[in-house]
A and B are shown apart, each in its own frame.
Chain A
Amino acid sequence: MDLSALDLSRLQFGMTALYHFLFVPLTLGLSLIIAIMESVYVMTNKEIWRDMTRFWGILFGINFAMGVATGVPLEFQFGMNWAYYSHYVGDVFGSLLAMEGLMAFFLEATFVGLFFFGWNRLSKLQHLIVTWLVAIGSNLSALWILIANAWMQNPIGSHFNPETMRMEMTSFYDVFFNPVAQSKFVHTVSAGYVTGAIFVMGISAFYMLRGRYMAFAKRSMVVAASFGLASALSVVVLGDESGYTMTEHQKMKIAAIEAMWETEPAPAGLAIFGWPDVKAQKTYYEIKVPWVLGLIATRSLSQQMPGIQELVRHGKVRIKNGAIAYGALEKLRKNRLDKETWHLFQQHQNDLGYGLLLKKYTAYPQRASIHEIEQAAQDLVPNVFCLFWSFRLMVGFGLYFILFFTIAFILASRDRLEKSRWFQKMAVLSLPFPWIAAELGWIVAEHGRQPWTVDGVLPTFLSATDIQASAVWTTFLAFITFYTVLLIVDLKLMIKYIRLGPVKALGPQSFGRVIDAGL
């Protein structure tokens, strides 16, 4: 394969990020579920709840180690493979990562050790607090990383400084309270809670189907059912979509998700099926529900949603302006005091990022031909087919989770979980779904961001390190090999402990109630 260092860096980052995201949602969800279980233990003093906390804690620990191991490479890769990105936006993006370390990683990582090693050394209440701090730490780290990600999607609170050739923060308040960050955070952690809930449901159902640990499994399911229903509703209702109208490219993303090539009269309809043909710029076999998209995306009946072709036309204007800004910037480097050029630059600086898109086709954007501008404008369209289907599958899973947890909740409240074998089977079969949905969500959010790393500010191709492809091949292959081995080991251990079951995993002497119950 003849891949450039850029392609490989993208593949490597995408692969390691998707891989990391197999473990993060479960950490988010399971940490809270465990904290809830332990809270019940401390309040009721029934030992079975402590055993539940400890057993699910073992599985949590295996998953947590994988999350830690696969998280570090992401931070390192920014500097290794995305050097220009690091230089260009470190002022804003880096500070959010640092805050994440300071506020969240220390909290979860320091207390997670005590969660496992503190059972004999802490009072009940102290241990409960430790468990909650782990859960809070995990969720706080999601908050910070999503604020950072939201800034890539909607870069507010910052400006370009021509003297340092990079983005600099102008308002931390704006960056922190980025509206995209808020919807992203709620959406992502809810998805994590759903993952945790289905994990507990599926494994408990597995025990029920085999007629083992009934009391243990039932209680676990009751917690997961109520927690899961609330989360599934939140993940769908408070979906990400409300943020999609913030910037021009967010509009492009939603148009691509809908494969909406031409602007429709407001309010636009929502496509539930279709076959987008990227070359012909048409969608075949489309089935549309009128009005719904316009309502979801703009929260109004009159605001129009621009289609892909119209957005490309807007983009062309911005690219031309960006080329002017780029030319002015070059002159300013030679003469910082040239007032006229300075004025010209300021007029067009908001489009500088669009001008940088031309760097893919010419070394001198200010002299770009019409053809080159056309090419750059076409780059603004993300992969429509991929987004269209990733989004639809994700939403399909989301709706399924609501259905699943509604049934679970009804069965739990009627005390019929143990008898409904069909539901137990359904729960086991549902185990992989939240992971698939989470990965698809990641693809929609990040693949939909292309061609930008930072929306409207920095194109992806420019962000990468100027490095030999062979070096990236080396690390890429090493990651693939190592991650494959790790995944096998992780699954092997998970399955081992699930098969062992709570009694054997915890050791009979520390297992109280379950044995009393004759199970």
Chain B
Amino acid sequence: MPDYETLRLIWWGLLGVLLIGFAIADGFDLGVASLLPFVAKKDEERRIVINTVGPVWEGNQVWLILAGGATFAAWPSLYAVSFSGFYLAIFLALFGLILRPVGFKFRSKMPSSAWRQTWDILLFFGGVVPSLIFGVAVGNLFLGASFHFDDLLRVIYTGTFWELLTPFPLLCGLLSVTMIVLHGGVYLIAKTNDPIAQRTRIIVIISALTAIILFAVGGIACAWQLNGFQYLSAITGDAPSNPLGKEVVLMKGAWLHNYTLYPWMMIAPALGFSGYIGVIPAVMGRYEKFSFILSAMSIFGIISTVGLSLYPFILPSATHPGHSLTIWDASSSQLTLFIMLLGVIIFLPIVLIYTSWVYRVLRGKVTPEILEENQTNAY
């Protein structure tokens, strides 16, 4: 069995991989749902848009379930604190997400246009609301949440729902929605013909410019405005997971501290920017697959930037900085991390293999003819 410190680092990386997996895989179908009312006007167009993700969104959403399950397993205190602390926000995201399975399945099962329009609106919210809330939640990681622990390590959350909606988290929420819309857009362009694709191209280009600006503003805020957290105690990578009894201070600009210590980390924000800079000419030049890869690259870069900036924190406490959750004191036991790692090593490649087979089977654009052929089951 690898040592505890290594396992914790691996699982920190894997948490990132799963979140990035979720943002890339489920991200485009959330994005497609968010674009639905804007790029498709007639019912047939809407059905085309929905059917671009119809067969695959369900598998994609498992990335979120898995990210949740893996957080529960590998970072139980993170799971407990974030889900209970952000209670109403998480509930809103959840509500959006559970609209989707029934929305996709039920929408086209009744001919009435009122019925279909209602589901279209719900699907739109199901795409936008979770994207916005996940972004706002990530933004709040940078500010720290209002929580501490009692002697039994029960979490006591003292914040409110409205307290989560301050400028920096809202900026992150906007960035998140933009990323998701853009990602859904490049997918939609690859899977549809004009005029849907043409309308989407314009939105993608606007989104790319917006995302670049928002990401840059976020970086500037981290440098000049936000108080970052700094870990002062000596790090013992194999200590038991107990978040109490360490020393942490707040300092302006501390969230950029890691980039001075480890300059290689600059790769992450660089990837974030360059993907979106590249996606504009790629979309205009009709390089459909390449645009999708560039968008995925930016998602990878931006989410990695979050993780690397926060390192070694995963969820800081604004009210009791010493109770913040870090990589070294919030993980599950060495044995559990190891067994879960084995599970991931064995099963994740299998999942990736059959998922790519499914995409291969479903390759090609969604056209009215395809809907006609599959009358019984198309959405």
B113-172: which have CB < 8 Å to A? 151-157
- Specify the chain B residue showing the minimal Cβ separation from A483: B98
Given A68-B58, A95-B339, A102-B66, A505 contacting B80 (CB threshold 8 A): no
In the assembled complex, B367 has its CB within 8 A of some CB on chain A: no
CB neighbours (8 Å) of B261 from chain A are none
CB neighbours (8 Å) of A92 from chain B are 336
Docked complex Cα distance between A114 and B355 (Å): 11
In the assembled complex, A98 has its CB within 8 A of some CB on chain B: yes
A81 close to B84 (CB less than 8 A): yes
CB neighbours (8 Å) of B362 from chain A are 113-114, 117-118, 121
A165 close to B153 (CB less than 8 A): yes
A94 close to B332 (CB less than 8 A): yes
B65 close to A113 (CB less than 8 A): no
B53-105: which have CB < 8 Å to A? 54-59, 61-62, 65-66, 68-74, 76-77, 79-84, 87-88, 90-91, 94-95, 97-102, 104-105
CB neighbours (8 Å) of A109 from chain B are 58-59, 61-62
B339 close to A169 (CB less than 8 A): yes
Given A87-B80, A110-B58, A69 contacting B102 (CB threshold 8 A): yes
CB neighbours (8 Å) of B354 from chain A are 107, 110-111
- Rounded to whole Å, the gap between the CB of B328 and the closest CB of chain A is 12
B343 close to A98 (CB less than 8 A): yes
Stretch in contact with the other chain, from B176-184, B282-290, B298-306, B369-377: B369-377
Docked complex Cα distance between A482 and B73 (Å): 30
Docked complex Cα distance between A65 and B103 (Å): 9
In the assembled complex, A362 has its CB within 8 A of some CB on chain B: no
Docked complex Cα distance between A107 and B347 (Å): 10
CB neighbours (8 Å) of B73 from chain A are 90-91, 94-98
CB neighbours (8 Å) of B54 from chain A are 113, 117
CB neighbours (8 Å) of A161 from chain B are 240, 333
In the assembled complex, A73 has its CB within 8 A of some CB on chain B: yes
Stretch in contact with the other chain, from A24-32, A245-253, A313-321, A467-475: A467-475
A84 close to B58 (CB less than 8 A): no
A467-519: which have CB < 8 Å to B? 467, 471, 474-475, 478, 482, 486, 489-490, 493, 496-497, 505-507, 510
CB neighbours (8 Å) of B375 from chain A are 507
A73 close to B94 (CB less than 8 A): yes
Q: CB < 8 Å: which of B106, B332, B358 contacts A114?
A: B358
Docked complex Cα distance between A163 and B335 (Å): 16
CB neighbours (8 Å) of A66 from chain B are 101-102
A117 close to B374 (CB less than 8 A): yes
In the assembled complex, A79 has its CB within 8 A of some CB on chain B: yes
- Rounded to whole Å, the gap between the CB of B229 and the closest CB of chain A is 21
Docked complex Cα distance between A121 and B68 (Å): 33
Q: Which of B59, B80, B88, B90 has the most CB of A within 10 A?
A: B80
- Is the contact region of chain B dominated by helix, strand, or loop, or is it mixed? helix
CB neighbours (8 Å) of B293 from chain A are none
B76 close to A94 (CB less than 8 A): yes
In the assembled complex, B256 has its CB within 8 A of some CB on chain A: no
Docked complex Cα distance between A494 and B358 (Å): 28
Q: CB < 8 Å: which of B105, B241, B339 contacts A62?
A: B105
What are the interface flags for A125-167 relative to B under an 8 Å C-beta threshold, 1 for contact and 0 otherwise? Answer: 0000000000000000000000000000000000001011110
A506 close to B376 (CB less than 8 A): yes
B83 close to A86 (CB less than 8 A): yes
What are the interface flags for B218-239 relative to A under an 8 Å C-beta threshold, 1 for contact and 0 otherwise? Answer: 0000000000000000000000
Q: CB < 8 Å: which of B58, B240, B343 contacts A163?
A: B240
CB neighbours (8 Å) of B91 from chain A are 76, 80, 474-475, 478
CB neighbours (8 Å) of A179 from chain B are none
B58 close to A87 (CB less than 8 A): no
B377 close to A116 (CB less than 8 A): yes
In the assembled complex, A263 has its CB within 8 A of some CB on chain B: no
CB neighbours (8 Å) of A7 from chain B are none
CB neighbours (8 Å) of A497 from chain B are 109
In the assembled complex, B319 has its CB within 8 A of some CB on chain A: no
Docked complex Cα distance between A444 and B1 (Å): 41
Given A70-B98, A114-B55, A94 contacting B79 (CB threshold 8 A): yes
Given A84-B154, A92-B336, A164-B241, A75 contacting B68 (CB threshold 8 A): yes
- Rounded to whole Å, the gap between the CB of B379 and the closest CB of chain A is 9
A489 close to B106 (CB less than 8 A): yes
CB neighbours (8 Å) of A6 from chain B are none
Docked complex Cα distance between A118 and B376 (Å): 12
Docked complex Cα distance between A497 and B377 (Å): 13
Q: CB < 8 Å: which of A61, A96, A107 contacts B105?
A: A61
Q: CB < 8 Å: which of B70, B76, B110, B355 contacts A110?
A: B355
Docked complex Cα distance between A96 and B97 (Å): 23
A113 close to B336 (CB less than 8 A): no
In the assembled complex, A54 has its CB within 8 A of some CB on chain B: yes
In the assembled complex, A83 has its CB within 8 A of some CB on chain B: yes
- Rounded to whole Å, the gap between the CB of B345 and the closest CB of chain A is 11
A68 close to B101 (CB less than 8 A): yes
Docked complex Cα distance between A112 and B242 (Å): 42
Q: CB < 8 Å: which of A62, A64, A84, A117 contacts B55?
A: A117
- Rounded to whole Å, the gap between the CB of B77 and the closest CB of chain A is 5
CB neighbours (8 Å) of A374 from chain B are none
Docked complex Cα distance between A24 and B225 (Å): 50
Given A94-B76, A110-B58, A76 contacting B83 (CB threshold 8 A): yes
A493 close to B109 (CB less than 8 A): yes
Given A98-B70, A119-B377, A90 contacting B76 (CB threshold 8 A): yes
In the assembled complex, A120 has its CB within 8 A of some CB on chain B: yes
B72 close to A493 (CB less than 8 A): no
- Rounded to whole Å, the gap between the CB of B319 and the closest CB of chain A is 15
A165 close to B152 (CB less than 8 A): yes
A466 close to B155 (CB less than 8 A): yes
- Specify the chain B residue showing the minimal Cβ separation from A144: B69
In the assembled complex, A419 has its CB within 8 A of some CB on chain B: no
Q: Which of B97, B109, B378 has the most CB of A within 10 A?
A: B109
A80 close to B84 (CB less than 8 A): yes
CB neighbours (8 Å) of B80 from chain A are 79, 83-84, 86-87, 90
CB neighbours (8 Å) of A111 from chain B are 59, 354, 358
- Rounded to whole Å, the gap between the CB of A499 and the closest CB of chain B is 13
CB neighbours (8 Å) of B374 from chain A are 117, 119-120
CB neighbours (8 Å) of A64 from chain B are 105
Docked complex Cα distance between A111 and B362 (Å): 12
- Rounded to whole Å, the gap between the CB of A74 and the closest CB of chain B is 10
Docked complex Cα distance between A268 and B65 (Å): 46
In the assembled complex, B340 has its CB within 8 A of some CB on chain A: yes
B65 close to A105 (CB less than 8 A): yes
B72 close to A90 (CB less than 8 A): yes
CB neighbours (8 Å) of A106 from chain B are 59, 62, 66, 347, 351, 355
- Rounded to whole Å, the gap between the CB of B98 and the closest CB of chain A is 4
Docked complex Cα distance between A155 and B37 (Å): 50
A83 close to B58 (CB less than 8 A): no
Q: CB < 8 Å: which of B61, B77, B355, B376 contacts A507?
A: B376
Docked complex Cα distance between A99 and B71 (Å): 12
Docked complex Cα distance between A169 and B1 (Å): 15
Q: CB < 8 Å: which of A98, A164, A465, A467 contacts B240?
A: A164
Which A residues contact B (CB, under 8 angstroms)? 54, 57-58, 61-62, 64-66, 68-70, 72-73, 75-76, 78-81, 83-84, 86-87, 89-103, 105-107, 109-114, 116-122, 161, 163-166, 168-170, 172, 330, 333, 465-467, 471, 474-475, 478, 482, 486, 489-490, 493, 496-497, 505-507, 510
- With A93-B72, A101-B65, A106-B351 already in contact, 5 other A-B pairs whose C-beta atoms are closer than 8 Å: A72-B94, A80-B84, A105-B65, A107-B354, A507-B375
| Nearest 8 interchain pairs by C-beta | A79-B83, A90-B76, A94-B72, A110-B59, A113-B55, A94-B73, A83-B84, A98-B69
**20 pairs, A vs B, C-beta closer than 8 Å:** A58-B376, A76-B68, A78-B72, A83-B81, A86-B72, A91-B332, A91-B336, A99-B69, A101-B70, A102-B344, A106-B59, A106-B351, A107-B354, A110-B354, A121-B361, A122-B361, A169-B335, A169-B336, A465-B87, A466-B156
